[in-house]
Chain A
Amino acid sequence: METQLYAAKIPCSARPIVFDESLCVGCNRCANVCQVDIFIPNPEKGKPPVVLYPGECYYCGSCVMACPKKGAIRLVHPLMNQAKFVPVKGEASYG
Chain B
Amino acid sequence: MNTLYRWPYENEFGKRETVTSDVLVLGGGLAGCYAAIAAARKGLSVVLVEKGATERSGAAGSGFDHWESACTNPCSKVTAKEIAEAYIEEQDYYSNGIAHYIECREGYDRLLDMESFGGKVRDTEDEFKGAEFRDNETKLMFAYDYANRFTLRVWGSTFKPALYKELLRLGVKVCDRTEATALLTAMENGKKRGAGAVGMNVRTGKLMVFRAKSTILAMSRPARVWLFNPDLVGLCEFRPPQSIGSGHAMGYRAGIEFTMMEKSVKGEFSAAGRSFPPYGTGNNHNTWYAATMVDARGVEIPYVNRDGVELKTVSERYYPAPGQKFFLKGGVIDEAKYEYRGPETLDFQELMRRGYELPFYADLSRMPEMERKVIWGVMVGEEGKTKIPILQNYTERGFDPEKHMLQSYGTGWQSASFLGQERQLFGAAGGLMHDWDLKTNIDGIYGAGDQLYASDCCGFAAATGYYAGRKAADYAASAELAPIDEGEVEKEKQRLYAPMYVEDGMDWRELNMAISKAMQNYCGGVKCRELLKEGLDLLESYEREAVPMLSCANPHELMRTHEVLDILEVSKLILNACLLRESSSRPLCFERSDFPEMDPKEDQCFITIRQENGQVVGGRVPHGYYGDVEEEYEKRNQDYIAEHGKMYPSAKSR
Asked whether any CB of chain B lies closer than 8 Å to the CB of A78, the reply is yes
Residue in B230, B315, B367, B407 whose beta carbon sits within 8 Å of that of A83 in the complex: B407
Q: For residues 229 through 272 of chain B, which have their beta carbon under 8 Å from a beta carbon of chain A?
A: 230-235, 240-242, 271
Within 8 A of B (CB), among A34-52: 34-38, 40-41, 43, 50, 52
Q: Scan B33-66; emit 1 where CB is below 8 A from any A CB, else 0.
A: 0000000000000000001110111100110000
**Is B8 interfacial (CB 8 A cutoff)?**
yes
Is B441 engaged at the interface, CB distance under 8 Å to the other chain? no
Interface: A27 (CB within 8 A): no
B120 CB–A CB distance under 8 Å: no
Bound CA span A53–B231, Å: 10
Asked whether, in the complex, the Cβ of A40 is within 8 Å of the Cβ of B8, the reply is yes
Q: How far is the CA of A87 from the CA of B365 in the complex (A)?
A: 10
CB-CB under 8 A from A59, the residues of chain B are 234-235, 271, 277, 385, 389
> Interface of chain A, helix or strand or loop or mixed?
loop
Known: A5-B554, A86-B404, A94-B368. A81 touches B271 (CB 8 A): yes
Whole-angstrom CA separation of A80 from B5 in the bound complex? 30
Q: Which of B291-299, B334-342, B484-492, B589-597 contacts A (4 or more CB under 8 A)?
A: B291-299
Residues on the B chain within 8 Å of A85, using CB? 361, 394, 399, 404-407
B6 near A55 (CB under 8 angstroms)? no
In the complex, whether A68 has a CB less than 8 A from a CB of chain B is no
User: Does B203 make an interface contact (CB < 8 A)?
Assistant: yes
Chain A residues in 8 Å Cβ range of B393: 75-77
B313 at the interface (CB under 8 A from A): yes
Whole-angstrom distance between the Cβ of A1 and the nearest chain B Cβ: 5
Given the interface contacts A7-B4, A37-B177, A40-B5, does A61 sit within 8 Å of B11 by beta carbon?
A: no
Contact B56 A12 (CB under 8 A): no
Please give, as numbers and ranges, the residues of chain A lying within 8 Å of B203 by CB-CB distance. Answer: 37
**Which residues from chain A contact B299 at a C-beta distance below 8 Å?**
90
Check B53 against A83 for contact (C-beta < 8 Å): no
Question: Which of A64, A90, A92 counts the most chain B CB atoms within 10 A?
Answer: A90
Query: Which residues of chain A in 1-15 are interfacial with respect to chain B, using CB atoms and an 8 Å cutoff?
Result: 1, 3-9, 11-14
CB atoms of B399 and A89 under 8 A apart: no
Considering only residues 264-291 of chain B, those with a C-beta below 8 Å from chain A are 271, 273, 276-277, 280-282
A69 to chain B, nearest CB (A): 15
Q: Chain A nearest CB: distance from B490 CB in Å? A: 17
Given A33-B53, A64-B388, A90-B294: A8 and B5 interface contact (C-beta under 8 Å): yes
Residues of B close to A14: CB separation below 8 A: 232
Contact between chains at B231 and A60 (CB < 8 Å):
no
Once the chains bind, are A92 and B365 in contact (CB under 8 Å)? Answer: yes
Q: Which residues of chain B have C-beta atoms less than 8 A from A86's C-beta?
A: 361, 404-405, 407
- Out of A34, A43, A56, name the residue touching B5 (CB < 8 Å): A43
Quote the shortest CB–CB distance from A80 to chain B (angstroms). 7
Check A82 for interface membership: any CB of B closer than 8 A. Answer: yes
A62 and B5 in contact (CB under 8 A), knowing A36-B240, A55-B231, A87-B404?
no
Tell me if B300 is interfacial: C-beta within 8 Å of chain A: yes
Q: A37-B203, A78-B232 are in contact. Are A7 and B7 (CB under 8 A)?
A: yes
Are A89 and B294 in contact, with the CB atoms below 8 A?
A: yes
Q: Which residue of A has the minimal Cβ distance to B312? A: A95
Residue of A nearest to B365 (CB): A88
Q: How far is the CA of A20 from the CA of B54 in the complex (A)?
A: 27
- Across the interface, which residues of A come within 8 angstroms of B3, CB to CB? 8-9
Is there contact, CB below 8 Å, between B2 and A89? Answer: no
- Choice from B62, B554, B559 contacting A61 with Cβ under 8 Å: B62
- Determine whether B202 belongs to the interface, using a CB cutoff of 8 Å to chain A: yes
Using A64-B392, A94-B366 as known contacts, say yes or no to A4 and B407 having CB atoms under 8 A apart. no
Interface centre among B231, B282, B316 (most CB of A within 10 A): B231
Give CA–CA (A36, B241) in the complex, Å: 7
Q: Contacts A33-B55, A95-B315 known; A88 to B385 CB distance under 8 Å?
A: no
Known: A37-B177, A55-B232, A92-B365. A65 touches B387 (CB 8 A): yes
Give the complex CA separation of A55 and B299 in angstroms.
40
Query: Is B646 in the interface zone, CB < 8 Å from A?
Result: no
- Chain B residue with Cβ nearest A94: B368
Q: Please provide the chain B residues from 557 to 588 with a CB less than 8 Å away from any CB of chain A in the complex.
A: 557, 559-560
Contacts of A80 in B (CB 8 A): 273
Closest to B406 in A: A85
Chain A residues with Cβ below 8 Å from B122 are none
Q: Which of A13, A34, A66, A95 contacts B231 (CB 8 A)?
A: A13
Are B403 and A95 in touch, CB under 8 angstroms? no
> With A and B bound together, what is the CA distance between A87 and B294 in angstroms?
12
Whether A93 is near chain B, meaning CB under 8 Å from some CB there, is yes
Please state if B62 and A65 are interface contacts (CB–CB under 8 Å). yes
Partner of B56, one of A43, A60, A84: A60
Q: Is A57 an interface residue (CB 8 A)?
A: yes
B421 within 8 A of A: no
Q: How far is the CB of B120 from chain A (nearest CB, A)?
A: 15
> Which residues of chain A come closer than 8 Å to B556, judged between CB atoms?
7, 37, 52-53
Chain B residues whose CB sits within 8 angstroms of the CB of A13 once the complex forms? 231-232
* 28 A-B pairs whose Cβ atoms sit less than 8 Å apart in the complex: A9-B3, A13-B232, A33-B55, A34-B53, A35-B61, A37-B177, A37-B202, A40-B8, A55-B231, A55-B232, A59-B234, A61-B387, A65-B387, A81-B235, A81-B277, A83-B394, A83-B406, A85-B361, A85-B407, A86-B361, A86-B404, A86-B407, A87-B403, A88-B404, A94-B314, A94-B366, A95-B313, A95-B314
**A-B CB proximity, top 5 nearest:** A61-B388, A89-B298, A90-B298, A35-B52, A95-B314
Q: A35-B242, A50-B5, A59-B277 are in contact. List 16 more A-B contacts (CB 8 A).
A: A5-B553, A6-B4, A14-B232, A32-B53, A36-B52, A36-B240, A40-B7, A43-B8, A53-B556, A55-B233, A58-B234, A60-B389, A77-B280, A80-B273, A84-B407, A90-B299
